[in-house]
Amino acid sequence: MGRPAWHIKIIMLFWPMRNFLARMVGWPIMGRWMSLSFRGDRASYIPVRVDVNPPGSLVVPTQVVEQFIQKASYRFVLNQCLCRSLESCRHYPKEIGCLFLGEGAKEIAPSLGREVTAEEALVHHRKAVARGLIPMMGKLRWDSIWLGVKGADQLLTICHCCDCCCYFGIYRFLPETEAQSLQKLEGLEVRVSDACDGCGICVERCFIKAMTLKNGKAVVGEACRGCGRCSLVCPRRAVNIVSPSEESLRGYMQRLCPTQQSQISGRESQSGRQFRGFA
């Protein structure tokens, strides 16, 4: 069941080389083989603070995460965050590990973590958000590879990412085709208001290096993945996150779990069905 711990330790020896390996994905022969580890990926960050909702919308993106947690057939929490452990993170706790949902999570080696109830998973998620970590949710082939999960289409990942250690920093080095697997939520906007004084904090903290300064004001680049950290760290509240519409969020849930009819409302979903397959 899953990879034994010693297998994973061997895989993690390549961690210091991750940015170089990401660049290799663009190479002619070996790159085509390496690109397979990103095939079929689809993931997005879920900003934890939304400043503006579309007219008539009662839904915020973080509700999407909690609904998936509540409806999952199985939930598994890693004992620690692999990224923050390997980087010896000094800013965020390594004990807040990734959360995996779906039947595929049953294949993860028990030595890496534990099964949790919906209530325990929600506590774990909310603790991560309270510490300033940003949830990222999606299907990632690399997770199924390093964890040794054969049912990759039945594994949903919820990472709680920091800007200093996170694996997803490699996406700024990947070729465009592979890098597009980590997308900003459709309809989500990041806006910089006139309150910006060009302090540059958001530029320093952007994990994907999408924020720049131009004429003394922060500018959001096309590489933005919509994590919303710039809004969290801005001392002047000059960076605002505009939430996607309910229709966009429903579409996002449906793409992650196309065999289910996801229901989102401003209140708790009335559906009692579970997301079993994540197929």
pLDDT one-digit tens code per residue, 110-145: 999 999 999 999 999 999 999 999 999 999 999 999
pLDDT tens per residue across span 9-23: 999 999 999 999 999
Least Cα distance to 79 among 102, 104, 109, 101 occurs for 109
Domain ranges of the chain: 5-183
Question: What is the sign of the dihedral through the CA atoms of 178, 182, 186 and 187?
Answer: negative
Whether pLDDT at 55 is above 80: no
- Phi, psi of 176, rounded to the nearest 5 degrees: -55, -40
pLDDT tens per residue across span 73-110: 999 999 999 999 999 998 999 999 999 999 999 999 99
Question: What is the sign of the dihedral through the CA atoms of 31, 34, 36 and 39?
Answer: negative
pTM for the whole structure: 0.89
Q: Please report which confidence band the pLDDT of residue 6 belongs to, taking 50, 70 and 90 as the band edges.
A: confident
Least Cα distance to 67 among 120, 104, 122 occurs for 122
Residue at 185: amino acid letter: L
Residue identified by tokens 């922060």 is 218
